[in-house]
Amino acid sequence: MSAAAPVTGGCLCGAVRYTLTAAPVLTRQCWCRLCQYLSAGGPTNNMVVPRDALTIAGALGDYASVADSGSVMHRHFCPTCGTPVGGYAEPRPHLYVLRIGTLDDPDLYPPRQTIWTDAAPAWATIADDRPSFPGQPPAPPTPSPGTA
Ligand SMILES: [Zn+2]
Ligand SMILES: [Zn+2]
């Protein structure tokens, strides 16, 4: 199901703005060690969206690293204010991972899963009202060609 109106968001300083015209494929919270760096010690809260439904305006910095899976991951951020905006994995360029905190209305898409709980610090609070995984769950399904 698509949202009735395009969903908008951006970074703290406003140099990066985006418009999203499709609902997320999935939403989840990630406690992996890398996400703890991005989030000042907490998890990141993410929505996986179809790349072709997302229009981003403004320059993004790009930091690439090799994930535990062996995939090269790109993390995008605003070079002016440092807000982590999103990123993608090279094997799945048709999907983009947007940080829920960059939505103009972060209540729109709450995280529905928690992943990498084994990497969380001892003081972390892990929500018990949604599925959680100790590590990386299976990758989201690849959209079939020809489907909207
Ligand atoms: Zn910014
Ligand atoms: Zn993570």
How remote is the CA of residue 131 from the centroid of ligand 1, in Å? 32
Whether residue 143 has pLDDT greater than 60:
no
Contact (CB, 8 A) for 43 and 123: no
Question: Average pLDDT in the 21-26 region?
Answer: 96
Could you read off the pLDDT of 43-101 as tens digits, one per residue? 999 999 999 999 999 999 999 999 877 889 999 999 999 999 999 999 999 999 999 99
What confidence score (pLDDT) does residue 30 get? Answer: 95
One-letter amino acid of 54 = L
Q: What is the distance in A from the centroid of ligand 1 to the CA of 60?
A: 9
Q: Compute, in angstroms, the gap from residue 103 CA to the centroid of ligand 1.
A: 13
Domain boundaries, the chain: 17-119
CATH number of 17-119: 3.90.1590.10
Please name which ligand lies nearest the alpha carbon of 35: 2
Give the model confidence (pLDDT) of 93-130 as tens digits. 999 999 999 999 999 999 999 999 999 999 999 999 99
d(CA 41, CA 39): 6
Question: Which residues touch 54 (CB under 8 Å, ≥6 apart)?
Answer: 18, 19, 20, 21, 96, 98
Ligand nearest to the CA of 97: 2
In single-letter form, the type of residue at position 123 comes to: W
